Amino acid sequence: MVRGKLRSSTVEAQSAISELTGINAANFTNQSVTFSSSNSQSMLAGQTLANQLMNQTSKVVSCVLLQANKFPELARAIEQRDIADSQRFR
């Protein structure tokens, strides 16, 4: 586990989610696995499972991205609050 100091910095927040923001979840939505010539029940069951997993993975990725994109906005709000608080102690 990575440990670090808590900071109300928009730069730190943006850095923390920079790898996630490049992911396009739309690329996952309409993908599916098909077998052109298999009648094996286990292969067909695997195909169904793989398709369900891709659909669910797409939903999870979209949800994670939605939440991750909130961090810079939250950091800005906390940063402004911290600046205002620090002004009271001068």
How far, in Å, CA of 74 to CA of 24, rounded? 22
Please give the pLDDT value at position 8. 60
Please give the pLDDT value at position 60. 85
Q: Of 58, 52, 51, whose CA–CA distance to 25 is shortest?
A: 58
**Does 75 reside within a domain?**
yes
Residue 74 vs residue 20, higher pLDDT: 74
**Does 5 reside within a domain?**
no
Q: Of 19, 31, 29, whose CA–CA distance to 65 is shortest?
A: 19
**Does 2 reside within a domain?**
no
Q: What's the pTM value of the predicted model, to 2 decimals? A: 0.52
How far, in Å, CA of 83 to CA of 14, rounded? 19
Sequence-distant (6+) residues with CB within 8 A of 71 are 13, 14, 16, 17
**What pLDDT, in 10s, does the model give residues 6-53?**
556 677 767 767 766 666 666 666 778 887 777 888 988 988 998 888
Total of domains in the chain: 1
**Does 4 reside within a domain?**
no
Contact, 44 vs 38, CB < 8 A? yes
Residue 28 vs residue 71, higher pLDDT: 71
Residue 26 lies in domain: 10-33+41-88
**Does 3 reside within a domain?**
no
**Does 26 reside within a domain?**
yes
